[in-house]
Amino acid sequence: MTNAKPSALQYVAYSYGRHLPDSMRSWVANDLAGPGALRRHLIRFAIPPFLLLAPFWLIPASLYVHLEMTAPIYIWSVLMSLALNKIWRRHRLAVHGLDPNLVDVLQRQKDAHIHEEYARRFGARPDTSGRNSSPF
C-alpha cells in the first residue's frame, strides 16, 4: 500500500461517506484510528449543521432569539456526533476493508501498563481476541 493522500474533492467526499481507493487504505486507517481522529471527526460533523443553521442568523432578531433558534440544534448535533463517533469510525474502517478494532488501538496503548499490572497481580485474562468494545 502506498501513502497516497486524497485530493481536496476526494477528501470532502470521503469526509461525508464516500469510499476511497484501496491505494489509500493506510491513510484512511491513520485518519480514522490515528492520533487526532476524534478531533477530525467532530470537526467534520460540526460543519454541516453550522451551514444549515447559518441562514437563521440572517433573520432580523435579537441575539437571544438567534441563539434560541440555533444553539439547541447545533449543540445536540455536536453531542450526537461525539456519542456516535466510535460507531461511525468503526463503520468507515469496515467499509474500507480495515479492521474495525483499530479504533481502540491508541486507547489500548495508553492503558497497556494497567493491563500488565493486572496480569502481574491476578494472572492472564481469558482470550477475547474475537471481540471488540462494542456494547451490542
Tell me the whole-structure pTM to 2 decimals: 0.74
CA distances from 120 to 44, 67, 108, 109, 114 (A): 42, 54, 17, 17, 10
| Rounded-to-integer distance, Cα 35 and Cα 132, Å | 20
Residue whose entry in the numeric block shows the C-alpha cell 477475547: 128
Calculate the average pLDDT of the chain. 88
| Gap between the terminal Cα atoms of the chain | 32
- Listed by start position, the domains of the chain span 8-121
CB environment 59-91: b (16+ within 10 A), e (fewer)? eeeeeeebeeebeeebeebeeebeeebbebbbe
Mean pLDDT to the nearest integer, 30-38: 90
- Asked whether the beta carbons of 27 and 4 are under 8 A apart, the reply is yes
- The confidence score (pLDDT) of residue 126 equals 72
Mean pLDDT to the nearest integer, 23-36: 91
